[in-house]
Chains A and B, each alone.
Chain A
Amino acid sequence: MKKLLILGFLFSLVSAQHLSQNWSEGTAYVLPQGRWEVGLFQPLKFGYSPSTEITVHPLVMFIMPNASIKHVWRRQSNATWSSVHSAYYPTPLLNMVAKEGTGGLVSPEFEFPAAILLYNEVRVSRPINDKVLMTGKTGLGLGKAFGDLDERTTIDFPLIYQRLSPLYNGAYLRIGADFVISIAKKWELHLDDDLFLMANKDATIGFEHKGLLVWKKSDRFRATVGYKVVFGQYPFGNQWNLMPPFIPLLPIWVPLFDFQWGW
């Protein structure tokens, strides 16, 4: 009996580790209850309960109200299941970039109606061995514009085009996998691959691959550096992009980077 209690206690510890985890991005895990995380470019996250995490992008909250919730539904000995549900109201931001002059991503001759973007995803994280954690994910993006939305307002640029496509065509399916690979005591490699299947007339496929090298100084700070490769079908045809793109005004290519803090 005593052995069973000890085994049960140990199992609960293992399960708890698979339920919540610092730096939970890209996994089915949620932040430990009460923990906050934020990055230069990453959203603000909060461990609301042992099984629920809340995320918002505070810097754009007033121009694109947004919220996301991740909830762990099921724990198994070798897998954790969760779902992510996000909602965005992009209309103010889109109307902000529909402007004359520099920064005008959309022609000012157009006005965006009220519109909403929803994203729902199922994730399952499973340790492959003691160094590799794999997360599989499948999501459905939905969009609805409550008024006339001219097709000429699409922003035909990688990352943006795919995510806004439901506003014009209703929905996209997103399938992907994330790998967190421990390569040293404080170093990890994060690989993230996502396939977008959009309900567009001709531009239907998008693919994104992200690679990040992560240095975890502690549970309070980590730094990431990496890249993203994007393949997309757009209204003009197919295109590969390395992100961030090389800016000719800069002497070298600047990679993706971020600094993140947790407490």
Chain B
Amino acid sequence: MKNNYIITFLSLTLFISCDPIVNEFPDSEEAIFYTADNINSVPAVDTITVMTWNIRFGAARSHWFGDACGDRVILPESEVTANLLAVADYLASVDPDILFLQEIDVESKRTGYVDQVQWLLDNTNFNYGAYASAWQSQFIPSDGLGRMNMGNAVLSKWEITDATRHQLSLRGDQDALTQLFYLRRNILETKIDMDGTTFYAVNTHATAFATDDTKQKHIQEFKDVLDRIEGEGVSFIAGGDLNSLPVGSDSIDYCLEDICSDETFHPEGYDLNVFDTGDNPSHKEGSWFAGDDFEVLRILYETYSPAVDTVLYQANEAQYFTHTPEYDNLDGFNRKLDYLWTNENWVTGSDITHWDAAALSDHLPVSARWEVGQ
């Protein structure tokens, strides 16, 4: 009889639900819903302000090791919440109705385990949120990163009735072990009910560092989701950090602008259009937009309405830059990576690239007024 008890106990302990070390995601699954501590009812309106912002997990312009030639990895919680407070203050000044967030942490050691989605909901005018993780691991045994949960979020003043996480293609240029602990980027598709008016809000963050055709796949997969919504005859707003340049950009190679002190690129006789990987890569990952990535966004420009069209952009590129590799220079923005799209109409001239938020991230927020579709 005693042995039976023991066997039963053993069986129970074995079947206790334990989370995997690394979270791998299905092709499509429900995203995670959030609500603010206090819900403030917001009436339906004819035009809404939509914003996209890569908030760099609340690290502001810190010299983080992963993207700023820096040496910082684990930020103190106090620094993170101070940065988030500055983000919240800025959001209060702009007062967007729908917000696409990229690089937002919900349970990461590097940011003091602050659930930034909940924190921003509780400290802004938004009422509802949805989150889709792009990097979820109980422990990343590299560079002291430890526990990681970073992803995309949609914040809304109106109720999010559906939220789906669509898995994007994994990078094809990594070994199996690196890929196991690496990002699994996604498209976060949400359905919003504004007092009976339903529309989709779609957010994504495409690959930055892939050297193969992963970026093309991501843009195509993003467009596939938008095409499906368009096929349903429903309006959408979409956006995110696409890590791609606008069609017609003057420069497509930022290797030397982004170079760290211990790096060398562009060896003698290098080919601008060929990414020669290896021990001495010809280009810097994430800084090279030539080859197959050249004008990868053309399929979106040709199908949907951007908040900033190519005519406007090409007339004054610098006005629309949204990303900087210079972490000590608030004026160092030198490329546009962040976009808003719709299958309806933006209010003409309503787009803003928010240069006054330069101190809060290495990306500037972009906003525009959207004529609510039916």
Using a CB–CB cutoff of 8 Å, the interface residues on chain A facing chain B are 98-110, 132, 152, 155-157, 181, 183, 189, 191, 209, 211, 227, 229, 235-237, 239-242, 245-249
Contacts and interface: CB of A to CB of B under 8 A. Distances in A.
A241 B73 contact: no
23 contacts: A98-B144, A100-B143, A105-B141, A107-B73, A109-B72, A109-B74, A132-B2, A152-B109, A156-B109, A156-B146, A189-B6, A211-B10, A211-B13, A236-B109, A240-B17, A240-B18, A240-B19, A241-B18, A245-B21, A246-B21, A248-B24, A249-B177, A249-B180
A253 B344 CA distance: 50
B248 interface: no
B22 interface: yes
Contacts of B107: 236-237
Contacts of A99: 143-144
B98 to A, nearest CB: 29
B6 A181 contact: yes
Nearest to B21: A245
A108 B143 contact: yes
Given A104-B144, A189-B6, A152 B176 contact: no
A207 B180 CA distance: 28
Interface string B3-33: 1001000100110111111101000000000
Contacts of A102: 141-142
A104 B142 contact: yes
B191 interface: no
Q: Please tell me the size bucket of the interface on B.
A: 35 or more
Given A108-B73, A191-B6, A242-B16, A157 B142 contact: no
Contacts of B3: 181, 183
A191 B5 CA distance: 13
A157 to B, nearest CB: 5
A153 to B, nearest CB: 8
A246 B19 CA distance: 10
Nearest to A102: B142
A194 B2 CA distance: 20
Given A101-B143, A157-B139, A181-B6, A109 B177 contact: no
Given A237-B107, A245-B20, 20 more contacts: A99-B144, A102-B141, A104-B141, A104-B143, A105-B144, A107-B73, A107-B143, A107-B145, A108-B144, A152-B109, A156-B109, A157-B139, A189-B6, A209-B13, A236-B113, A240-B18, A242-B14, A245-B18, A246-B20, A247-B21
A107 B109 CA distance: 11
Contacts of A239: 19, 138
B176 A249 contact: yes
B179 to A, nearest CB: 9
A241 B147 CA distance: 14
A184 to B, nearest CB: 12
